[in-house]
Structure 1
């Protein structure tokens, strides 16, 4: 004979086995490996040093951490030849130094969607709209995807234009040059 089991006991057992993962912010290191200043740009905005920003200047050889909000889906690109008003030779965007819209056709892009589907981030470097500087996306630990890059206007590089994925929660480095 079976002992009666209450519906509440079954629900409690099932509930304890379910893990709900809340989306989390993701850290991205922006690395300027060029011999000149690059002004990284972001659309939509990210957080840098506790403040929202669409871009900032980054000296040659410097790096800066930014935080992409949970479920971020957007673009990161490098601008070159920028003046103090945010007008640039390549990659200029509306809003001056802190972009308020995506770049017009021209820069090499890092396209990123966090927690896009089934617990994975999706990303790709692309020169499909044009090319201004080499760009590499380097996944952090916990992801077996190799760094992917666009190295010239011909779409050369490791995975230029191809969509890649890593488990959500992976950190990334975006490297210019």
Structure 2
């Protein structure tokens, strides 16, 4: 007869080994923040790519797809970059949630790319790039705090 685990009377007893480490609040905050923020540039990128860039190219007869850069080509490139970086950030946040160090490094690089894009855009910005820059810095700092590093080390040690 098996004895249920004391924290959950309906669950089976834990199988040997160590229990999974508790996810720190900094990892939770960083992952959720990325999941909340990253869809917006993703939507912007999809809109810019399909409505802005491709629409202008089709109106111009498609002559600027690989020719000299113009507004349609620039809009298309920016849209594709937004889609790629945002999609990558969403996937990396899911991997960070699982305690993957590669995801932490990748999100740091992604936040750096986003921060550079925001700083370049700062002089002509209409929105709030300062807020975006502060959120990118928060995510990077939260991922590299000692509690987050300890969690990632513990998760790595438990992997087969």
Q: What TM-score does the superposition give when structure 1 sets the normalisation length?
A: 0.26
Q: Which has the higher helix share?
A: 2
Structure with more strand by fraction: 1
Larger Rg: 1 or 2?
2
Q: TM-score, normalised by structure 2?
A: 0.28
Higher relative contact order (CA 8 A, sep 6+): 2
